[in-house]
């Protein structure tokens, strides 16, 4: 499909500059908040007006664009700057539709992240935001793959961003998707109860069709909308049959098991497809659960391939392969939306 050259990530672990995934940072009050860095690449006059999601998205994007021009920007998000939306609505009530601050309204739109990066960098090409809940980033990947097929010499910035907002957290909690008992992310896989821990973060990538100096190659993506365990397992097997050449195997299955015992059956079924050679890993104790978390999983896969290392806390079952050169990512959002990525070392 295309090659990933540079990447940037903000999440609950130190990932933005000096990466450290070995020591798991504990969650706070059943939430896995992102660690925000110093946004040195974002103009201060604009930074102080930005909401949390916008800061993370623009910060990770601008980190990659300081010395690189791109032909387009594509961002996936499920909620955009939803916290700014609530602030604007509250102002309408508070000031009786009087003298309202426009900043919250402008930044509350879903396309504010991609649009702001485009305005700062004066990028006048393709600018799109995909809003597909748990498959938002997967649709970004599919979109940019088609763009690169039509424009093989172009370079694009792609990514996924979401924040923990109070309103959205309440709604998802009422729907029963978050744990009600006090739970740390360090014990996420040891508690056999329903629900998970919410997270947030941003990951951005520079992608093109050039293999030289690339970090990794994203070979294929597949999306499945189904609540049937057998159908998801069959679609994964079909994806492998379509994407792998004879003799090729998966060295690491990196999946999104999130501590919700209602969803464990999907991951168990997908794990059963692989033999003892494949290492099984999981990542949501590091990131938490949110709709575009698969973007962070892709960032992690690139980091593992580039650093030739795999943190011990990520490993669920160690395979007997000698090195990790080909990674399959499987993410599941609320048992209804499933995404697969095939990534390999260049």
326: containing domain: 216-345
pLDDT of residue 92: 73
Give how far Cα 55 sits from Cα of 45, 230, 273, Å.
12, 40, 40
- Is residue 281 domain-shared with residue 199, that is, in the same domain? no
Interacting residues of 248 by C-beta distance below 8 A, sequence separation 6+:
326
| Cα 19 from chain centre | 17
- Is residue 245 domain-shared with residue 321, that is, in the same domain? yes
- Is residue 190 domain-shared with residue 234, that is, in the same domain? no
- Look up the pTM and report it: 0.93
- Is residue 249 domain-shared with residue 182, that is, in the same domain? no
The kind and range of the H/E element at 207 are strand 201-208
Phi-psi category of residue 59: left, alpha or beta, with phi > 0 → left and psi -120 to 50 → alpha: alpha
- Is residue 298 domain-shared with residue 173, that is, in the same domain? no
- Is residue 21 domain-shared with residue 143, that is, in the same domain? yes
Give how far Cα 133 sits from Cα of 145, 244, 256, Å.
20, 28, 16
The H-assigned helical ranges of the chain are 44-47, 52-64, 82-94, 102-107, 112-121, 136-150, 166-174, 229-243, 264-271, 284-287, 293-307
Q: Which residues of the chain have pLDDT under 50?
A: none
How many domains, the chain?
A: 2
- Is residue 136 domain-shared with residue 171, that is, in the same domain? yes
End residue of a domain, out of 208, 229, 260: 208
- Is residue 313 domain-shared with residue 188, that is, in the same domain? no
End residue of a domain, out of 190, 208, 226: 208
End residue of a domain, out of 184, 208, 232: 208
List b or e across 175-186, with b for residues whose CB sees 16 or more CB atoms inside 10 angstroms: eebbbeeebbbe
- Is residue 293 domain-shared with residue 319, that is, in the same domain? yes
- Is residue 32 domain-shared with residue 120, that is, in the same domain? yes
- Is residue 272 domain-shared with residue 133, that is, in the same domain? no
- Is residue 220 domain-shared with residue 155, that is, in the same domain? no
pLDDT of residue 168: 85
Domain of 48, CATH number, reads: 3.40.47.10
């Amino acid at each position: 499909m295309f090659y990933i050259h540079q990447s940037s990530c903000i999440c609950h672990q130190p990932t933005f500059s000096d990466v450290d995934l070995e020591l798991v940072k504990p969650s706070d009050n059943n939430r896995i908040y992102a660690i925000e860095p110093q946004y040195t690449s974002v103009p201060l006059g604009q930074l102080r007006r930005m909401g949390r999601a916008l800061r993370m998205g623009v910060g990770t994007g601008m980190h990659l664009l300081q010395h690189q021009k791109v032909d387009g920007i594509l961002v996936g998000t499920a909620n955009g700057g939803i916290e700014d939306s609530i602030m604007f609505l509250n102002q309408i009530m508070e000031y009786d539709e009087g003298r309202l601050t426009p900043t919250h309204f402008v930044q509350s739109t879903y396309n504010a992240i991609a649009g702001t990066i485009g305005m700062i960098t004066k990028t006048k090409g393709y600018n799109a935001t995909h809003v597909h809940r748990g498959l938002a980033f997967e649709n970004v990947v599919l979109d940019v793959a088609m763009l690169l097929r039509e424009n093989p010499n172009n370079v694009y910035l792609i990514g996924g961003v979401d924040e923990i907002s109070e309103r959205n957290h309440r709604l998802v909690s009422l729907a029963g998707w978050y744990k009600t008992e006090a739970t740390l992310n360090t014990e996420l896989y040891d508690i056999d109860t329903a629900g998970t821990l919410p997270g947030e973060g941003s990951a951005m990538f520079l992608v093109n069709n050039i293999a030289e100096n690339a970090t990794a190659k994203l070979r294929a993506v597949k999306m499945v909308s189904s609540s049937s365990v057998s159908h998801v397992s069959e679609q994964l097997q079909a994806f492998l049959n379509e994407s792998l050449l004879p003799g090729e195997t998966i060295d690491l299955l990196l999946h999104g098991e999130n501590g919700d015992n209602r969803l464990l059956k999907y991951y168990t079924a997908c794990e059963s497809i692989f033999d003892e050679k494949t290492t099984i890993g999981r990542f949501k104790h590091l990131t938490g659960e949110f709709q575009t978390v698969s973007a962070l999983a892709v960032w992690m896969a690139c980091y593992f391939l580039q650093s030739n290392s795999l943190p011990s806390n990520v490993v669920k079952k160690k395979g007997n392969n000698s090195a990790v050169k080909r990674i399959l990512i499987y993410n599941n959002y609320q048992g209804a939306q499933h995404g697969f990525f095939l990534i390999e070392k260049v």
